[in-house]
Structure 1
């Protein structure tokens, strides 16, 4: 049985659920190759986690599943961003190698 939350904890639960949705949507966008602005995500996640610590212990414990979900979403986002960066760097390397090859072939190019 889920304990009843205070109005403060209920609002915090809603904000944390919203953050989770944002993290998942952001990971989906990055995976699709879209450019994404990350400004504010870390600050929001930190503020919400700090707010959980300020709750009475019983209410704070009820946030454990949400915190685990947020952590999993952050880990997924990190993985997707790393993969996107690797793909982008790989394309840049191929482009630079092709340009260098063209210059070596024809000094008047590039």
Structure 2
């Protein structure tokens, strides 16, 4: 069974979703590498694209299911990377605060 061609609107949406997927994957890679990332607009873009799928005719919208599952997997990967980065950052902050507290306890002039 062959897949029917997408309408121009659906084709443009597919390209935009593929672009979002690339951004999500690149962002997860950056977070994993320890880089600071600005997430501004990412949620709005993802929401707009998902909402656009809902407005397609049902037969075309169904064709987006695999693409939506891939985007969801990329979002989950990004979430995992952010959580791990936050845990690492929190651990470093806790160590720094503990070290500072010990220094103050050892040297009353510091604290």
Q: What corresponds to 2:100 in structure 1?
A: 99
Distance (whole Å) between structure 1 residues aligned to residue 80 and residue 43 of structure 2: 16
Distance (whole Å) between structure 2 residues aligned to residue 77 and residue 11 of structure 1: 24
Q: What corresponds to 1:74 in structure 2?
A: 75
Moved over 4 A (4+): none
1:87 aligns with 2:88: yes
Unaligned runs of 5+ in 2: none
Unaligned runs of 5+ in 1: none
Distance (whole Å) between structure 2 residues aligned to residue 29 and residue 3 of structure 1: 37
Normalised by the length of structure 1, the TM-score is 0.98
Q: What corresponds to 1:43 in structure 2?
A: 44
Normalised by the length of structure 2, the TM-score is 0.97
Cα RMSD of the aligned pairs, angstroms, is 0.7
Q: What corresponds to 1:27 in structure 2?
A: 28
**CA shift for structure 1 position 107:** 0.9
